[in-house]
Amino acid sequence: MKLVLLGKPMSGKGTQARMLTKELNLSHISTGDLLREEVKKNSGLGKEAKEYMNKGVLVPDELIIRMLEKNLPEDYILDGFPRTIKQAEALDKVSKLDLVIDIDCSDKIIVKRTVMRQMCRKCGAIYGLDIKPVTEDQCDSCDGELYKRDDDNEETIKKRLEVYNNQTAPLINYYKDKGIYVEVNGEEPIANIKKNILSKIESVK
């Protein structure tokens, strides 16, 4: 299966993608995670991407498309890609999507979640408003150190929401026109969202 999770930053794409990956035995491809790996390695791509990421704007299409094409398996859940019409067109050239699932949330809840979010340095697990770690600043599953992403602050999230509305929201009509777009309410409890996504997937199997 070839799935795309669409949604504003902090809509819960990463959390859902991780759970669905296990359930459906698909590869989880997060362009944000791939970029953060490059930043950590301090590679050429990482150095270039870091500036855009810290400003809350999108990395140029050419860079991200090249990186994705190198990392695209046969079956996948894409999280954070495509984010522009140009990226969607590039994906259409190499793959035929089964479903695009939009996790819908208000801007207000997005800002609140951002300020609360922490991630595990070791395994990438996500904590925040809904899931709090048992021990402060420590991952429940691998004991890794929890940290805040550089771009998880109020100023940057507001910029990222503006970028989403201008550059990514047009994908909604792009995929509606193709008849592969569905929406779920992203403000429900995490388990409900997962259940709703699975039932949408079931309906196209």
Residue of 18, 36, 160, 194 marked active site: 160
How far is residue 184's CA from residue 83's CA, in Å, rounded to a whole number?
18
Q: Does 160 bind ligand AMP (CB under 6 A)?
A: yes
Shortest reach from residue 203's CB to ligand AMP, in Å: 26
Q: How far apart are CA 67 and CA 45, in angstroms?
A: 9
Q: Which of 24, 39, 50, 52 binds ligand AMP (CB under 6 A)?
A: 52
Among 59, 99, 103, 119, binds ligand AMP (CB under 6 A): 59
Pick the catalytic residue from 13, 18, 36, 113: 13
Give the pair of three-digit tokens for residue 101: 């699932």
Active site residue 160: yes
For 140-152, b where at least 16 C-beta lie within 10 A, e where not — what string? eeeebebeeeebb
User: What residues numbered 75-104 form the site for ligand AMP, per CB under 6 A?
Assistant: 80-81, 83, 87
Residue 58 near residue 83, CB atoms below 8 Å: yes
- Which of 11, 16, 31, 196 binds ligand AMP (CB under 6 A)? It is 31
Which of 10/135 has CB closer to ligand AMP? 10
The DSSP element (H or E) to which 76 belongs, if any, is strand 76-79
Query: Reduced to 3 states, what is the DSSP secondary structure of residue 4?
Result: strand
Q: Quick one: DSSP state of residue 145?
A: B
Give yes or no for residue 146 binding ligand AMP (CB under 6 A): no
CB 112 within 8 A of CB 161: no
Residue nearest to ligand AMP (CB): 32
Binding-site size for ligand AMP (CB under 6 A) equals 16
Asked whether position 58 contacts ligand AMP by CB under 6 A, the answer is: yes
- Catalytic residue flag (residue 83): yes
Q: Does residue 12 touch ligand AMP according to CB under 6 A?
A: no
Whether 18 is a known active-site residue: answer no
Between CA 99 and CA 76 the distance in angstroms is 11
Q: Give the residue numbers annotated as catalytic, written as ranges.
A: 13, 83, 117, 149, 160
